Structure 1
Amino acid sequence: MRNGRTCRFSPLSAGRLPRLEPSIPSPDDILTLEDNLFQTRPLEGGGRRPGIDTIDCFLESLALRTAPPPVAVILSGTGMDGTAGATFIRQAGGIVIVQDPLTALHDAMPNAVIQRRIHDHVLPAGAIGRQLLACADPAYERPTPPADWSNSTSTTLAHIVELIRRRAGFNLSGYKPSPLLWRIQQRMDMRKVWSLEDYASLLADDPVELEALARGISIHVTEFFRDADAWPVLRTNVLEPLVAQAGAGAERILRVWTPACATGEEAFSIAMLFDEIAREAAEPFDFQIFATDAAPELIASASLGQFNARSLAGVSTARRGRYFYQVDASFRVKRFLREKLVFAPQDLISDPPLSGLDLVTCRNLLIYLELETVWDVLFSLNTSLRMGGYLLLGRSEAYPLDEQGFEIVSRKWNIYRKVGPMRKEPHTTVRRVASDEERLAKLALRLAYEQFDVPSVLIDEDRSILRIYGDTKDVLRFAAGEPSLRITDLVPKQWEASLQHAIQRVFANQEPITLECMKLDAAENITMRVRLTPLQTSFGAACDRVLVSFVREQDAADVFEADGTLLMPGDLDIAESVDWKSKARVSREELEASREELQALNEELRASNEQLNRSNGDLNVANVALQENIEQLAMQSRVLSSGAVMTMFLDPDLRLRWFTPSMRDVFPLTSRDTGRNIADLVSKFPDAAFYTDIHAVLRASEPREAIIRDGHDHTFLRKIYPYVSDTETISGVAVTFVDISDHAARTL
């Protein structure tokens, strides 16, 4: 809608929601509701701020309605947008619905309304639609002032966080509730548990589910050279000055810490930069990078330095060749660079920090923490740095650290240099005050947890053991020679084929499997059951971990499935009687057949390559012709734009695609109007048949023209032509206006 155009509004009535005619207000306009009509007016001179006061302005106009009572819905968003408007709605007797901040991506807008107690309902997004229908019912009654709506959820969430801390060793108490609840809700959806209280009960009863949640609830978002523009700044303003300082004292080693390193991409990125500087430096220097994370299995994975091709998207070809080698369809960091990194488990919130560091990088972590915890972490990072050391927080972590013992190195990337201790003291409840006691309690709890009756191991997709629970010495044994952590190399030899097959099935089908009557000792006829349970470390992805549990026959009566049922022999169609030698022979025959098929496919591929080469030649010829056409079109466009021809082109959906500058004499067009529907644009003078003629041209493929007068002694010849593509279909219309005022005057 432009220049005061209106759109009718159907008010909220019983049993139905308002009906709005399609309309798109300009970004430069303010939208209001007046006399059941949407009205727009320019921002200029109205005392309103673009993009800031738009929501409040509309709600204020909505509050002027007398009947039915207005309803305002405040959803996820930053700042205080909508708070003033919601106040007007309540003062006018209207209803204010707020999205539950615990389910909002950005909770500032909902919290701003709730803190002022001007809301009637606090609901998750999925329940707001039903509440709108309830508000439209004439029998609707405003609820009594809400009590503390967050008590129940907060109490249950605190119980889950404490359960994770005691059982899995992760301290999540300083995290914002929203990201924790998002991940818990995703896990609840997977297990089809609809109540948070019921899910807390499931976690208390099911160690496998607790393991899955604990491994997936942490935020593991990292990549090589993330935010590419930040790395040249880091090299020029931080790393090179550090190297220059280290050169003065040749024996000093530069120390870098990357807490919450996840799978290690950022730590390896810093190591590559240091190595590149070392290759160019006049004097040698040494560096050491400490990469830590609270998740032990992430540390185990990161220390291998093995990544798939997709993970290396941000690594240049030169760096890939210098620092990686390819193996098993993946890429591994070369040993000389891996030796510069030390990986260790460490909880940034509850464990003591490192000390005497030259650089700490802590990006995209603080945004997930409560403000008090943020300042506690920043205090620790300041303590860990030597005087003159640097802190990199990244673009999304802006805090006034220039007043807290730091000076600004890069405001855009939030890089700081330590010039003194922080003035802000840590919060009194910070867990590090009792860090020794906490570590001792955590160790005791972990030992108790890992000594339960069913020994188990956690493995990854490479069959490598990440963690051992309980006593597995009767099952897992190291052979002579180079040690291996692959589970199939450690179990009894007679288990190898069946266990390998079962692991493949678990990863493929993402369903648990139980192997029955696995003979542990042929002489003593000791058998076990092996239970394989798929787990996830990241939500929305396939399972990438498997918990392998070894159940002795004498203990089987006390071992339950995740759903509470006993482990029974009928759980699996793989029994003791399976002839694995026959299966291996069949597999070899299938392999030979596959090789023959592969050879045939290779022949077809060679033929396809030859045909593709011929097609490439034809394509090159076509590209040359296309380039000539593009140059001709560019020349035609420049000619049209430089002249006085008034032309615009509309696609079949009547969206504006292109216009000449002189077209502004007829329509008040700007570059931002490209892509808008022509019905949303109002001409400077009346043309009653304009839209009718456009639709007629699209239907009949026949051009139309008309004489138009603007009321100021100007006369135009308006023509509308169909544009027919090579496929004989109409791809749009071209509209031209020609000023014929002089000719019309002579005719009269």
Structure 2
Amino acid sequence: MSEPLGEAENAGLEDLLIFIRDARGFDFTGYKRSSLARRISKRMHEVGITDHADYQDRLETSAEEFRFLFNTILINVTSFVRDVDAWQFLQREVVPELIAQVPADEEIRIWSAGCSSGEEAYSLAIVFAEALGIDECMKRVKIYGTDVDEEALREARSGLYTARALEPLSTELRDRYFEPSGNKFLFRSDLRRRVIFGRHDITRDAPISRLDLLICRNTLMYFNVEAQQQILDRFHFALRENGFLFLGKAEMLLSDSERFEVANMRQRIFRRRAGLAPLPHQPAPLRLDIGAGQEVQGVVRKRQLNELALETAPFGIVAIEYDGRVAVLNSQIRSQFGLTPHDVGRPLSELEISYRPLELRSLIEQATTEHRTIRVAGVERRLGPDESQYFDVSVQPLRSSDGADIGVVVNFVDTTMTTRLSSELKVKREELETAYEELQSTNEELETTNEELQSSIEELETTNEELQSTNEELETTNEELQSGNEELETMNEEMRIRSNELDETRTFLEGVLSSIAAGVVVLDGELRVRSWNRGAEELWGLRADEVRQQGFFTLDFGLPTGPLRESIATALTTGKRDGPVDIPAINRIGRSITCTVTCSPLDGTRDGVVLLMEEVQPNSPAAQGN
């Protein structure tokens, strides 16, 4: 556990987070301060900086430093079928039920939020392919993998993994879903097309909608309570009724039982309750509540209010820019006409809503030409042979303060249920009044019991929250340690490979030197012996271990070294070969010989010299020349 930051350090950290958010659009203000401060301090220590302001200066002058910082903060710890027991329960209990409740002609939509390098998304593809068969899986299943880390997403999109990364999978599964590609394994391309990766910030961006299964494991634990609640609001909005939410082993929904019921607490699998309308997502980013950002917060708050007002309007709203592109699709219009947030920015003419249930394009042209609102009541939309839906549609041109046309807004007010609901509500009211009278007496009895249990529940909730917070902190630390261990293992492997290469090179060089019949002596820049080959041992009778690291001119052997000083100095000074020099000497058996010595600089540098010593035979050309 890290120690709490002092007041000055905390202020410096908050200023740094605001700078990162404004400069690069990464909003870390919703992250838990303990783990966030620990990760940032780790990176600051690596670059030798102790003050947050100095580190901000470093970020301002080095764009590359942002990448290193994000890689440090975003802990990408993942693996195939991580926590095997949880995945087995998912495969055995959840997947069959999910497949059964989705009609055969509808798509099964799955989201892996915080997918890192993609192992989790591909694990989902394997699980559903095993349950449905590969061909059926390719027709019915679509998997979205998202993360904020672009480097991790590039690795995920490649679909390439090492043999070690695939160890959690059986040999049979590996052979079925992966094929060798060099020294790695590539996920099969046909099934890969059903897995879509993209950058997505779960604290800021609109969620993927109409999901049957949402997996977000060991990601929530990095955020504070407020951020976790906002993320869960988005997840609840994203899931269909009875859709499943799969969390990490350190994450629980202690205070959200009204919206999610427990499918399996041990494996952290929950189900969205039926009958509860999902909360709209909040598109505005999380805010940092400190004095330095009050002005920014005011602007953001107003923008958030405008966006939420449109998003939560009780009728469908479509806003079209002057060039015909869709600018706004609120929640009602998306759910009524099967649109998605991805349709924002597309030309209206490409969407079915432009001509069904009525021809919108001509109405838009009329409204903009006549500069007035066009209203069409009772527009029928056929939903089936015996079912229709009715709308009151209004097309209103939008103009700026200077009178320029900037677009139009189209409202779809659903009037189908007005009369039907009126009669149904009357019957329901009578039924509820009767049920209310029956429940009144029961409620009075329960109130007394509830009061007695309330104090016990509050104590238990407090204890649970404390335990949950501690558990999340421990799990966060564990993942940081695991990430560090993986980095050390990678470095160790690189060092082992480098050591093997050096051993091979040294063995090769020693073999070359040993195979030379002449004496070869290598001296360093201080004229100490670095190498003494077998030829030198046989010529002078001194072993290599006796002379290594000894000063060459201090050695006592059969070759007078004095005459070589000038030649060695010349080779060191000029960097060129000098000699040969013929020197009378006495070999290891006491016989007088003439030794010719050539001095060469080591590798063309002046940091060492190589001496080549050869005994001159009496009848050799060199001897006769002398």
Same fold (TM over 0.5): no
Task: Name the TM-score class by shorter chain.
Answer: 0.3 to 0.5
Calculate the TM-score normalised by the size of structure 2. Answer: 0.45
Which structure is richer in relative contact order (CA contacts within 8 A, separation 6 or more)? 2
Calculate the TM-score normalised by the size of structure 1. Answer: 0.38
The answer to which structure has the higher helix fraction is 2
Rg bigger for which structure?
A: 2
